[in-house]
Amino acid sequence: MEGQPLRRICRSDDATIAALIRASARSTSPSPGALELRLADGGTLGYRCDGALYRPRSDDAPALVLLRLRPKQQAVAQFRQLNERIDMLSREIARRRATEAQLRASTERLQQADRRKDEFLSMLAHELRNPLAPLHMGVQLLERKHGALPDVGRLTRMMARQTRHMVRLIDDLL
């Protein structure tokens, strides 16, 4: 086909050919189009045609409009592959967004559980410390009044030690 006049090998009408060449001559980036070419056996075959303006480095040489022809089946196959890739990427994006939403929901649930745990431990500390204060005070009173008696002194010292131990355990726990 090289060197052949486009009108001789092209089955598309003159207006289509002229529009394709005008669009291609306006840009150095490929401009898409479609043409039908005559086959040697008289049949026709559809082609995807990407045309662009080519400016040679030399100012003496004229600018050219270059046309790149590919059978439509090849272009359609590539288009299908691109669509399949886009579909796959769209599914992957949707899957990732769903995973991110699940992670955000899990994070929120865990933060709520952590807040409830902190509230529970705060309440537990209060409830456990409350009875220890009067016990500790009672042990001190017993020690002052009856600390001289050997059995009472030993018992009050043991009770004081145990209440201090309980306070430390609660402080360490909470």
In a domain, 44, yes or no: yes
Q: Which pLDDT value is given to residue 82?
A: 93
pTM of the model as a whole: 0.46
In a domain, 54, yes or no: yes
Query: For a pLDDT cut of 90, what percent of the chain falls above it?
Result: 22
- Domain with 19 in it: 6-71
Host H or E run for residue 131: helix 72-146
In a domain, 93, yes or no: no
In a domain, 104, yes or no: no
In a domain, 64, yes or no: yes
Whether residue 86 contacts residue 66, with contact meaning beta carbons closer than 8 Å, is answered with no
Q: What is the distance between the alpha carbons of residues 11 and 7, in angstroms, rounded to a whole number?
A: 7
Task: State both tokens at 55.
Answer: 């400016």
In a domain, 47, yes or no: yes
Domain count, the chain: 1
In a domain, 28, yes or no: yes
Which amino acid is located at 103 in the chain? L
Give the list of residues 6+ apart from residue 156 with CB closer than 8 angstroms, or none: 139, 142, 143, 146, 147
In a domain, 76, yes or no: no
pLDDT digits (tens, 9 = 90+) for 32-44: 888 888 877 878 8
